[in-house]
Structure 1
Amino acid sequence: MPDIRRPTVPTYAVCSVPIAAIDASGAAARIVADAMAHLPCEVHLCNAYTLSLVDGDEQMRTALLAADLNLADGTPVALLGRRHGLPGPVRGTELVGEVARQGGADVRHYLYGGNEGVADLMAAALVRKVPATSVVGTECPPFRPLTDADLSGLVERVRASGADVLWIGLGTPRQDYLVHLLAPQLSIPVVPVGAAFDFWSGTIKEAPRFLRGTGLEWVYRLAKEPRRLWRRYLLGNPRFVLSAWRHRG
């Protein structure tokens, strides 16, 4: 592959992982530029739970350190970037909409994630919000570990669709592992946005707007899905604080 010169994105370290000090608009501009230039771009949205895993999960750590763009998904991570000019977190839902808006008819999207029918509902919502949006593929992943044949098939289908961006919605850490495997095989941005599939589709409600950016959005989500999310927040949040403290400097 020829040498690819991209604009330098300022970063700051959290848990020894470089986080881009850019907002959703800036992140979308980078993703759209790479999509239109047919350049590979491995993206990860890093919240406190994601970063809490890096000390004990070598696969996650490898993925984040190899990424082209790690974004601050969550107020605690964004707050640590304040002195570097980061105005606030980059939420997955917002990022999807911003890429659709900036890319318009020039950027084609492939949606891989969610339960049965969720990706289709998300596609319909995107087109309603940004009528120029082109969604060229939707898939519900199997409820089992993906095999090499699954990965090869997905790569072939994404290539055949002509997609310019692949959105992954499997939840952390599974989606981050998959992005790291797919990104080198696809000359397009590959972006994991997890719950954004459910939020865009309307199958799960987002936290009220007044809670977003306050650092308390997790309380709302925990109240809505306690059985699925209790471990992430009640164990992951303290682990993140310890890891961030350990890697400070």
Structure 2
Amino acid sequence: MLLKPFETQSLLSINYHVINQSELFEVISNQIEHDEPINIYNLNIHAMNLTYSDPDFKQVLNSGDLVFVDGMGVKIGAKLLGLEVGQRMTPMDWLDDLFELCSQNNWSIFLLGDEQEQGHAFEEELKKRHPHCALAGFHHGFFSRTGEENQQVIDLINRSHASIILVGMSMPIQEKWIAENAHLLNASVKIATGAFHRVYTGNIARGPKWMTDNGLEWLYRLFVEPKKTWRRYVLGNPLFLYRILKAKLFGVSA
């Protein structure tokens, strides 16, 4: 439950909140202080495209307590349709600030996702950058998300007494896992963060600052990882633009 309401916009039937970084941190602080649960998701072109083939994911996004605009493409698409956006907030641009906020308020975090070795790498990098930020624990993402094994992971997270859970899996797995298990988790804040920890530890390069500042990080990733990303960007970006233009010209979403 979001303690402070924010303006909501709907882009191609997907709802998001008009919010900036300082407001996001205020929300996180309030939710932890009042021990109120919140599920936080991000919205980029990849997420938008997935909703057309996965109605369950669409429902999860639209039921999110707080959904912020991540990608530049979504911001441009929203602007073309005359929608307010707020600040584009790629997690890598603000997570360091969040970790510093955790240090100041004695909040601990739990990382869920990827391989166990990545958890160790993240722990080491976090210690270097924020020695007073407590990592309550981490667990790899290769577990059965139903039944006893899933419950064991939930129990591990709850025993850690983490204030914030960063769920770093791929879309739509991370959002669905949060939505399905949020009522079983004691942590106030659950954030879907994708592969941020790989970028954070240097395993995935973001590209030059001028590219990230101008929303061209996708182009850099396409260049360095073409086999992995071509479908997402070469096919996905034009498809999203087509849907935006159809909505603008004909008032319908494709």
1:91 is matched with which residue? 90
Q: Percent identity?
A: 21
Q: Which has the larger radius of gyration?
A: 2
Instruction: Give the conservation status (yes or no) of the 8 Å contact 2:108–2:164.
Output: yes
Note the alpha carbon deviations across 1:45-76, whole angstroms, 9 max, x for none.
11111011212211110110110011111112
Alpha-carbon spacing, 1:242–1:182, altered in 2? closer, same or farther (3 Å): farther
Q: How much has 1:5 moved relative to structure 2?
A: 6.6
Q: Which amino acid aligns with 2:182?
A: A
Counterparts of 1:244 and 1:157 in 2: how far apart (Å)?
A: 43
Q: Does 1:50 align with 2:47?
A: yes
1:26 paired to 2:46: no
Question: Aligned letter for 2:69?
Answer: A
In structure 2, the partner of 1:204 is 204
Tell me how far 1:83 sits from its aligned partner. 6.1
1:145 and 1:45, CA in 2 relative to 1: closer, same or farther beyond 3 A?
same
Q: Deviations over 1:69-92 (max 9, x none)?
A: 1111111223426963614x2112
Distance 1:5 1:177 in 2: 19
Question: Partner letter of residue 106 of structure 1?
Answer: N
Letter in 2 for 1:161: S
* SS of residue in 2 equivalent to 1:50: helix
Alpha-carbon RMSD across the aligned residues, in angstroms, is: 2.2
What are the residue-to-residue correspondences of 1:218-233 with 2, within 5 Å? 218-233=218-233
Structure 2, unpaired ranges of 5+? none
Return closer, same or farther for 1:54/1:103 CA change in 2, 3 Å cut-off.
same
Paired positions, count? 244
Aligned to 1:71: 68
Matched residue, 1:168: 167
Letter in 2 for 1:183: A
Q: Which amino acid aligns with 2:52?
A: D
Alignment-derived partner of residue 60 in structure 1:
57
| 2:190 matched residue in structure 1 | 190
Mind listing any 5+ residue stretches in structure 1 that lack a counterpart? none
- Which amino acid is the alignment partner of residue 137 of structure 2? G
Higher RCO, Cα 8 Å, sep 6+: 1
Runs of 4+ displaced beyond 6 Å: none
